[in-house]
Amino acid sequence: MNFSRYAIYYIPDLPLFQIGSDWLGWNSITGQETLLSADHRRITDRPRKYGFHATVKSPFALASHSTQGDLQDAFQAFCATVPPATGGTLKINRLGRFLAMTPDVQSKAVTELAASTVSHFDKFRAPQSDQDIEKRRQRRLTPEQDALMLRWGYPYVMQEFKFHMTLTGPLQNDEIDTIKHDANTRFQEFLGQPLKIASLALLGEDSDSGRFHVINKLSLQM
């Protein structure tokens, strides 16, 4: 399979990952789709291609001097030396116009794990094009976010990082409460549980379908 971009995500263990994948309609580990109703397919259309995850290092094209093998070797070495991170309990939260599973409080350990991942793998990231930069700026970035985007290729990193596992695309105001209730029901057994990031996953974006597939999922140093 040929990949156009790569990403490093947190992917929870089963059964939360399976339930999240069934909710979105795409399992990034098995490469299988879930049959959804037309309405549910609509509300999950935007996040579906990425699979159920929390972004740690956002999708990036590979630098010309690097290969996928180089990236995989670096990922394996990194996971062997980085400790797990814990902090906060999970809940369904509204972030702007979409819903996500988030911790009630984000710990310093989670923020630092994300920051170290972003900086460690930055050497593998191809430079952004002017078109990429302008597309990012259409989201009305703050000056701090704009500076982070220019430095790291993504505006929501370092001090701007907010851990979240996306559940929907943009929703209409009159449907958010209903869908949030549905999400609380579907994920009920995991809400109020502590967040523990004990593994990371390296994924690739299929050049043909645009879907993300897990290349490797590794435990962090215990």
Using DSSP, how many helices (H) and how many strands (E) does the chain show?
Answer: 8, 10
For the whole model, what pTM was predicted? 0.97
Residue 197: predicted pLDDT: 98
As a whole number of Å, the CA-based R_g of the chain is 17
Task: Please report the pLDDT score of residue 113 as a whole number.
Answer: 98
pLDDT over 70, % of the chain: 100
Structure tokens at 53: 């995850």
> What confidence tens digit (pLDDT) does each residue in 46-97 have?
999 999 999 999 999 999 999 999 999 999 999 999 999 999 999 999 999 9
Query: Across-strand partners of 6?
Result: 60, 204
Quote the CA–CA distance of 185 and 107 in Å, as a whole number.
Answer: 26
CA proximity to 23, closest of 165, 162, 163:
165
Task: Please report the pLDDT score of residue 22 as a whole number.
Answer: 98
pLDDT of residue 222 exceeding 90, the answer is: no
